[in-house]
Amino acid sequence: MAAGSRLYRTAGIVIRRRNQGEADRVLTLCTPQGKIEVIVKGARKIRSRKAGHVELFSRSDFIISRVEHSWDIVSQAETVEPHARLRGDLVRGAHARYAVELLDRFFAPGEGDGALFDLLDHTLTWLCEEPDPALSIRFYEQHLLGLAGFRPELFRCVGEHETPHPLRPPTEHGDRPPYGLDPERGGALCRRCYATRPRSRWIEPLSAAGLSLLQDCQREPYSTLRTRAIPPALHAEAARVMERYIVYHLERQVGAARFLRNLRITAPPAQPTGDGTKTHRRL
């Protein structure tokens, strides 16, 4: 669109929706230019042409009209990727709601950029396709926190050391003292610092395998990470320590995290749809 035009075009992923008035709907969008709120006039009418293009989690191309002192108005919307499986599968949908809630909590209107948009777009695609949606979320958490400025330090102990103390968790198994994750200091503690720490309700124990998983989520591309088999107990541990870390920095609970924690997943992992082939863009 020409400079100064009242209309602008953008890609957008719907991360939140709420009703407005009798027939309208206000959308929160993650776009390559940041998080924005817009209104879709008449979206709740039965014959609305826009309704099918503004579903939760869907990625669409929008033409939007600028309005001073109010929400910008969606003039046109066309679905690019509906991510429909996230709205029809309880487990996948719960993970997707957690992903968009984290983004909505950490980023204010106007904040965000193309990297954040791409991260969410990739993650929602993986949540549709992957047998284990939990791995996609572990990866997403680390990279979202990095973009928000809260990335935990996992490769050096954040405790009291005269010189940097690298964290290289061993590969052997057994009952060994745990590492720790300290949200207040912003990262991981070595075994000695965790054992001698002052009492705090925020610091969580972290096994060597758990620390290794979180480190890999920061440094490995998802295309590599997804080839590994992660035991459910290890996912549960990583989810526990990251929930505590995130709650500390948000200063509030994450509703979707509570739902995931209480969700009893008894069915076997879901399988991809279609012909079984998968395509993944590398992050």
Using an 8 Å Cβ cutoff, are 137 and 99 in contact? yes
Distance separating alpha carbons of residues 127 and 119, to the nearest angstrom: 12
Distances (CA, A) of 4 to 38, 65, 72, 114: 19, 12, 15, 22
Going along the chain from its start, the domains and CATH numbers come out as 7-81 (2.40.50.140), 85-153+201-262 (1.20.1440.120)
Q: Phi then psi for 84, rounded to 5 degrees?
A: -65, -30
Which letter does DSSP use for residue 149 in this model? T
Q: State pTM to two decimals.
A: 0.88
pLDDT tens-place values along the chain, 283 residues long: 444 569 999 999 999 999 998 999 999 999 999 999 999 998 888 777 887 889 999 999 999 999 998 999 999 999 999 999 999 999 999 999 999 999 999 999 999 999 999 999 999 999 999 988 999 999 999 999 999 999 999 999 999 999 999 999 876 555 678 999 999 999 999 999 999 988 888 999 999 999 999 999 999 999 999 998 899 999 999 999 999 999 999 999 999 998 988 875 444 444 444 444 344 344 4
